[in-house]
Amino acid sequence: MRLIAGNWKMHKTASETEEYIKSFLKFVEHPESREILLCPPFTSLYIAGKLLEGTGVKLGAQNCHYEREGAFTGEISIPMLKELGCEYVIVGHSERRHIFGEDDELINRKLVACLEEGIRPILCVGEKLEDREAGMTFKVVETQVRLALSGLEEHTDRIDIAYEPVWAIGTGVPATPEDAVSVHRFIKELLKDINPKNEGRTRILYGGSVKPGNAGDFMKHSEIEGLLVGGASLDPESFAKIVYSF
């Protein structure tokens, strides 16, 4: 089933989250035909989990720590997330990589922890503009995927991957559907090489300036098995239009 995920980033208080979800659920009364995921900030997860319970709309977190507990001031563990109803967590988003300095080794440790704790990670990969202009898109993506999945080759069926070209995130300039498809095909072939037994069992999502007006153009391609939506997921009606754009 295709996955449409909304990453709210650092937006919405708990009260704003409550207002959003009550409005959004009116637009998605029958979500069975696709998987819908909301990823609010940590402070909104409790209220979101209560409101989404029994609706069919899934709850996810935007980040996690790899340890179950400990002296890690300001961090959130996966058991904490699961108790609030989270079934997914975004790992390795470009903003975590490039603003907060998360490297491939740390991202790998988070993926290991996710699988050990039974929560499904969405691994984000993608190239910066200078990589693209230098013809390094496939090399950058391959490096990120292989390092992130090191030691997890047998479990690629328990992970989703989001291709998010960094130059398209929040810029209003998405990749063309054709560009996205070429990278998605590359990732699929890469995963086949990593573990042929799990071929076709990892969903590849596209993210980067997805809007109601272009979501359908991406989703008409079978290689694109979902969307990770940023800014356009902050309005409930806008996100609902994306959810039902295909």
Q: Catalytic residue numbers?
A: 93, 164
Structure tokens at 4: 């449409």
What does the buried/exposed string (b/e) look like for 125-147 if buried means 16 or more CB atoms within 10 Å of the residue's CB? bbbbeebbeeeebeebbbebbee
Q: Which of 61, 35, 2, 4 is nearest to 229 (CA)?
A: 4
Which distant-in-sequence residues (6+ apart) come within 8 Å of 116 by Cβ? none
What whole-number distance in Å separates Cα of residue 4 and Cα of residue 49?
A: 18
